[in-house]
Chain A
Amino acid sequence: MASVTMTVNGKTVTATIDPRTLLSSFLREHLRLTGTHVGCDTSQCGACVVHVDGRAIKSCTALAVSLDGAHVTTIEGLASDGHLHPMQEAFREHHGLQCGFCTPGMIMSAVDIVNRKGAMLDEHTIREELEGNICRCTGYHNIVKAVAAGAQAMAATKVAAE
């Protein structure tokens, strides 16, 4: 067993875990943050994407113990005081989901794209950047629309906050 401490959605958590515990299992089973989904188990579908120290990673292929001291944000940590994050709102508004299983990972990836590339995303960029996230339901059309709209909404709220 190994001890690990990290900040998850703003809260510090410490746990003693099997060193083989994946970050996805740690979040889902130890912290009961089940919004992070496991779709493929092998780093291919993107359903399990979370942010670690501000960067998107696939939590199904990261060992929790290797992230000692890290800041982790999951889909549950994106909304603040009951208000959806602009990207979450955009996915809801633009019907960027059907079964919803890919949605948390899509949204976490989308926020990461905006963080890296800015809010003015053309469709081509969005499509290329989403290659690590599989959606089997929507055909991506509304997801791409949602990401573009969410990116602009993120920029707008940032301006409003400044």
Chain B
Amino acid sequence: MSDTLRHVSRALPHDSARKHVAGTAAYVDDLPEPHGTLHLAIGLSPAARGRLIDLGIDAVRAAPGVVAVLTADDIPGRNDIAPSLNDEPLLATDRVLYFGQPIFLVVATTRDAARLAARLARPVVEKETPSVTIEDALARGETVLPDYAFGRGNVAPALADAPLRAQGQFRIGGQEHFYLEGQVALAIPGEDGEMLVHSSTQHPTEVQHVVARILGVPQALVTCETRRMGGAFGGKESQATQWAALAALAAHATRRACKLRLDRDDDMQITGKRHDMRADWDIGFDSDGLIHAIDLQLNARCGCSADLSQGVVDRAMFHADNAYFLPVVDIRSKRLKTDSVSNTAFRGFGGPQGMLAMERMIDAVAWSLGKDPLDVRKANLYRPGHDETPYGMRVTDADTIHAIIATLEETAHYRERRAEIAAFNAQSPVLKKGLALTPVKFGISFTLKALNQAGALVNVYADGSVRLNHGGTEMGQGLYQKIAQLVADEFGIGIERVRITATTTAKVPNTSPTAASAGTDLNGMAAIVACREIKARLAAYAATLWECDADDIVFAEDALSAGNRRMSFKDAAASAIRERISLSSTGFYATPDLTWERDKGRGRPFYYFAYGAACSEVIVDMLTGENRVTRVDILHDVGRSLNPAIDMGQIEGGFVQGMGWLTTEELVYDSDGRLRTHAPSTYKIPVASDVPEHFQVMLHPGANREATVHRSKAVGEPPLMLAISVFAALCDALHSLAPGKLVPLDAPATPEAILRAARQIAPGDLF
């Protein structure tokens, strides 16, 4: 069987593009509401830590339009929404865990009635002083998970023996997802305790499981359906569950459809963020800038429960080498418990934090030696003979990152611009320019091995149309489109024959979240497996008919053919069905070759690495800290692209989101543990004018060396970390104020932070 590619690798528009521009693509809140649908609002905890004495909800119950007020006591099953440990309730019971934690649920005839009623509550909490910061949690010694470490060699003597040494503490801020579509769910009760939940979730299976757990019914009674999300970025991986479960609880209690759409300010306050971290680092190196040893401790602020913190902080550790060989290394981590909403997945899943810490150390080495940071970066890259990561996996394709950096250095004119910038800075006392070129090496696979599986269900109908279901969810990343392209080319049919359908647990069960950038790798493979099963049956049928070998049957141009025999795909389907041949098949895929053993801290957690590099230039006003990114050049490796338009979009969007994280997006909590930046008015998300006009993205040519779908590479997360080049460029500009000094800039590099750093590094010079 051979196939020709009509769709794969083409820059086709997103499958819903036409509907999106016409305003007809339905999100959960747009679905027609069943008659009598009720609306929900949540009562929020007025304190971050303490004993919940009384909900104070008498007035709520009496408010107009209120149908029911539900509390933890009304949960028929187990009051537990945690994805891993049993450490997070749906509704608070005797203790509150964070400011704004849901403590009761109002069910009313309209959304406004529900929200107005919720405000009438007068909950009583016996308050305790909350742990808000990393330091608070360290002082209390409270964690959500045990400490974890891995590494190689004996670090203390290696550090002591190193010719040169630098140390520091580096703060890395969190990030709000700000998916444009907020959290939302619609639950519709059925017969015999069945429940259908439309949820904006990356993980329909988990929603199904948790709803079943909360309601105390078998999982087979619960269906979760997700057609599309208006963005997710990790924020709907584990944390869409709570809202779906609340909707289901209310639907169960009232026997009516119930909808919960969080108000945006509430959404920002009561859903988890990217983990903020404090990296305590110590590096030994020599006068060539070669790293001898690293001791790194990542202190992660996990919030009130474990949620996904094990994977997130592990991934931060896995990426604390970025693309560099660390001969002797100790990477340790603390998973700190704070009295704040549980921090969660966010594009990169901890990887960006680990990588940023490493790049800070590289910069420190370069500054102390007076070298160009790019030279220090290049000197330490993985290379033959120096290719083993701190966790024992070998990097066998480091030549890719060497090639990417070499090319980008040329095409972005790094050296010329370095000289121009030095000249500019020498004659410009207030405005300073900065430049940086930084690499990305990102491991692809879930580090929790069990999640590296996917299923699909493909049905071919008598008219030759195809219905495609798989476990992946669509959040804008173009997964549905890519998989439809794969399926169309497997069957050799036009993509218009492939009907993409909503993801539902009723059709493809026991799925993993769409996360870890692995959506296409996993679900695309599963869909191909299903297609090939059906093709094999059709080919066998045609081979009998034509008295030829099944291997000689070609699926192309909407037909099956062998030599001069030809039958349209439609006719083949219709006659195969008459011959009692099944044209429906499931497909299943599990990533091969993964051998990670967490307890030993060694093995192969990733199927492969995705690479990229970015070169960014900035200009900073050192009197105000105001700055602009003036030019960005990116070269990124997506293997053999399945759809270059979609992949370029992921790179551009990921970069800008990463840039926001490292520059303007600042989460401010007060001492009560209350988030004060809970709207885009105070939490600055990049807008069109923050992105430079010179923003050039190129795809690095070359196939994935592992056997992925058409040798493509995952693209969802890695590009976010290209934005580290912006942070490094800002540091570079600051460094020009006081060459040789360590730039005391933490992330995010807001104008205030830049100004503080400038004053610290060059006191009196300018001010």
Contact = CB atoms under 8 A, between A and B. Distances in A.
Interface string A37-56: 11111101101000000000
Contacts of B681: 42, 44
Interface string A122-160: 011011101101111111111110000000000000000
B689 A127 contact: yes
Q: Which of A41, A88, A124, A133: most chain B CB closer than 10 A?
A: A41
Interface string A6-47: 000000000000101000000010001111111111101101
A103 B17 CA distance: 10
Nearest to A122: B693
10 contacts: A92-B17, A95-B13, A95-B649, A97-B14, A101-B230, A103-B20, A134-B685, A137-B231, A140-B688, A141-B695
A59 interface: no
Contact of B691 (A41, A75, A89, A127): A127
B423 interface: no
A100 interface: yes
A32 B29 CA distance: 11
A24 to B, nearest CB: 11
A133 B16 CA distance: 21
A34 B30 contact: yes
B679 A134 contact: no
A35 B23 contact: yes
* Interface bin, chain B: 35 or more
B18 interface: yes
Contacts of B697: 141
Given A39-B264, A101-B231, A126-B688, A74 B23 contact: yes
A103 to B, nearest CB: 5
B112 A100 contact: no
B180 A39 contact: yes
Nearest to B180: A101
Contacts of A91: 17, 20-21
B712 to A, nearest CB: 18
A97 B23 CA distance: 12
B238 interface: no
Interface of A: 18, 20, 28, 32-42, 44-45, 47, 74-76, 79, 84, 88-89, 91-93, 95, 97-104, 107, 123-124, 126-128, 130-131, 133-144
A135 B697 CA distance: 19
A40 B176 CA distance: 13
A57 B254 CA distance: 38
Interface string B5-46: 000000101101111111111110110100000000000000
B647 to A, nearest CB: 11
Nearest to B27: A101
A92 to B, nearest CB: 5
Given A40-B264, A92-B17, A123-B693, A139 B655 contact: yes
Q: Which of A101, A102, A139: most chain B CB closer than 10 A?
A: A139
Nearest to A74: B23
Nearest to B23: A35
B545 interface: no
Contacts of B691: 127, 139-141
Interface in B225-277: 228-231, 233, 263-265
B228 A99 contact: yes
Given A99-B180, A100-B230, A135-B688, 17 more contacts: A34-B30, A35-B22, A37-B27, A37-B230, A38-B29, A39-B182, A41-B263, A42-B264, A44-B680, A45-B180, A95-B649, A97-B14, A100-B16, A101-B230, A103-B21, A124-B693, A140-B656
Contacts of A101: 27, 179-181, 230-231, 476
Q: Which of B21, B178, B689, B693: most chain A CB closer than 10 A?
A: B21
B224 interface: no
A141 B696 CA distance: 10
A30 to B, nearest CB: 12
A139 B656 contact: yes
B136 to A, nearest CB: 31
A98 B649 contact: yes
Contacts of B654: 139
A136 B231 contact: yes
B231 A97 contact: no
A3 B766 CA distance: 63
- The 7 A-B pairs at the shortest CB distance, nearest first, are namely A35-B23, A99-B476, A101-B230, A100-B20, A75-B23, A139-B656, A98-B476
Nearest to A97: B20
Given A126-B688, A134-B687, A99 B181 contact: yes
B652 interface: yes
Contacts of B680: 40, 44-45, 134
Given A42-B264, A100-B16, A138 B649 contact: yes
Given A84-B21, A101-B231, A135 B14 contact: no
Contacts of A107: 21
A92 B691 CA distance: 21
Contacts of A128: 688-689
Nearest to B681: A44
